[in-house]
Structure 1
Amino acid sequence: MKHIVYILIVLLGFINVEAQNGQFFKEGNALYNAGKYAEAIDKYKAVLETEYHSAELYFNLANAHYKLNNVAPSVYYFEKALLLKPGDKDIKNNLAFANNMTVDAIDTIPEVGFSKMIKSITNTFNFDTWAKIAVGFGIVYVILILLYYFSYSSGKKRITFVTSVLCLFFLCIALAFAFNKFAIDKTNNPAIVFAQESQIKTEPNLRSEEAFRLHEGTKVQIIDTVNNWKKIRLLDGKTGWIVSDDIKVLKDF
């Protein structure tokens, strides 16, 4: 009985939090539509404080910051929304507008050939989706093997055998893309510069030489950490060390 009461209390608490989040979100949208962007941000952040995350929430929060010309927060929240919905055209479009507000012009090293094609296909889905596709082919493969085993007709056996081989092939392909996506995500640790201007050092200390400078809103890749310093890499291949407080990691949810 005590367990049932405890479960009911937890469920009621969850429902209450969900209802409150929905109310905050609606109020934030109303304030945004009224042009009260700072107040809308407060409402959206109230939802975040309950540890609720969604692409829609980050998208609206980014739009409110964009209206206030807050460069780093707008880029940051659009990027977080894109992590949750990688293929969303509206997020990509608005992120492009936000990136236009940044100061740093960084050339991207273009990927070409077979590696570009493989990476493009791999990034079509996240790891979970690729895993589900692999499981789906696995289930179909088992069913076809059973049908092959219990079929008496040579024609049906031939069809189920060929189809099962194809399923096994696509299962291996899906698994390969799933593991490739996992490897990409593991090494992918993006962050956004929040300092208005940050000196990037050649070594993780203040006494070292300045390599270059970055400004708010610039996206970087974190490749190493030493105390309160992060080693970063830019899209053009440049590397250096930045103070940890000058950036915010995108994968922190």
Structure 2
Amino acid sequence: MKYCIIILFLGPIIAQDIDLLFEYGNQLFINGRFDDAIDKYEKILEQDQENADLYYNIGNAYFRSHEIGKAIWAYNKGIKLSPRDNDIHQNLEIANSRIIDRLLLPEPFFLLRLYRDLKNNFTIQEFIMIGSLLLFLEASLFMNLQFGWIGNIVIRKCISILVISAMLIHGIAIDKFFQQKNTRRGIIIENGVEAYSGPFYGENTVLFRINEGTLVDLHQSQEGLVEIILIDGKTGWITTNTMRSL
């Protein structure tokens, strides 16, 4: 169980209320009152406050309440904020193993897998910070080289390597930015959710059923329904209250 002080900049009174809710939720969790703990954590989210530890705790509470889909949703939200948090990753793996009829894709080519792992291990802000640091180092070496303070083949090669590395890092940041901008995803939070062939019940048939915890791409929405795409390519329409957006 993780504990943290949620730092806010909305004034000391609001910050104190949020911290009290978080601490109260933690105590309720320790006492085994998982539903009550969830209620406190959700109230924090309703105030547009979030961090990885909050999602970790609410994910654990949902998991203990046997709401696997919501636990997986919370862990995924936490990983987006803290992509290298091993505790969240481990709990997500455990929760994923509870998915009924889990869909799995074949392992991608190892170079593609390495690239995805690298991209998923850092946030956009971290990529930008690393790339900027590399550019700063390159500029410093270049200035020293221009003024003649240093000057040899090794330094020139270091400058070239830093420039190329900075370009690659910023390229990954741009790729991640557009992926997040153009891709909407969600987690199914109920079992046996019926996916229809269209956005209207009476005129469409049930194409398939999916279970809680399944990751889906969100395409378009209409009148309380959203079109989803599964990782195996299947598409269908489900009610919006059966999933939570990431």
TM-score for the superposition, normalised by structure 1: 0.83
d(CA) in 1 for partners of 2:127, 2:56: 25
Larger radius of gyration: 1
Note closer, same or farther for the CA distance 1:128–1:232 as it changes in structure 2 (3 Å cut). Answer: same
d(CA) in 2 for partners of 1:68, 1:117: 35
Which among 188, 204, 208 is matched to residue 193 of structure 1? 188
Check if 1:110 corresponds to 2:128. Answer: no
Secondary structure of residue in 1 paired with 2:11: helix
Query: 1:199: Cα distance to partner?
Result: 1.5
Query: 1:79: Cα distance to partner?
Result: 1.8
What CA deviation, in whole Å up to 9, does each residue of 1:123-168 have, x standing for no partner? 2212211111111111112111211111166xx2544322212211
The runs of 5 or more residues in structure 1 that have no matched partner are 1-10
For 1:135-154, list aligned pairs within 5 A. Answer: 135-151=132-148
C-alpha contact (below 8 Å) 2:76/2:92 kept by paired residues = yes
For 1:205-224, list aligned pairs within 5 A. Answer: 205-206=200-201, 207-224=203-220
Structure 1 vs Structure 2 CA RMSD: 2.3
Paired positions, count: 238
Note closer, same or farther for the CA distance 1:124–1:79 as it changes in structure 2 (3 Å cut). Answer: closer
Residue 3 of structure 2 aligns with which residue? none
C-alpha contact (below 8 Å) 1:66/1:98 kept by paired residues = yes
TM-score for the superposition, normalised by structure 2: 0.86
Residue 8 of structure 1 aligns with which residue? none
What code does the residue aligned with 1:52 have? Q
Relative to total residues, which structure has the larger helix share, 1 or 2?
1
Runs of at least 4 residues off by over 6 Å? none
For 1:13-32, list aligned pairs within 5 A. Answer: 14-32=11-29
Identity of aligned residues (%): 24
Secondary structure of residue in 2 paired with 1:182: helix
Note closer, same or farther for the CA distance 1:78–1:118 as it changes in structure 2 (3 Å cut). Answer: closer
Deviates more, 1:17-26 or 1:179-188: 179-188
C-alpha contact (below 8 Å) 2:80/2:123 kept by paired residues = no
C-alpha contact (below 8 Å) 1:82/1:88 kept by paired residues = yes
C-alpha contact (below 8 Å) 1:109/1:235 kept by paired residues = no
C-alpha contact (below 8 Å) 1:104/1:218 kept by paired residues = no
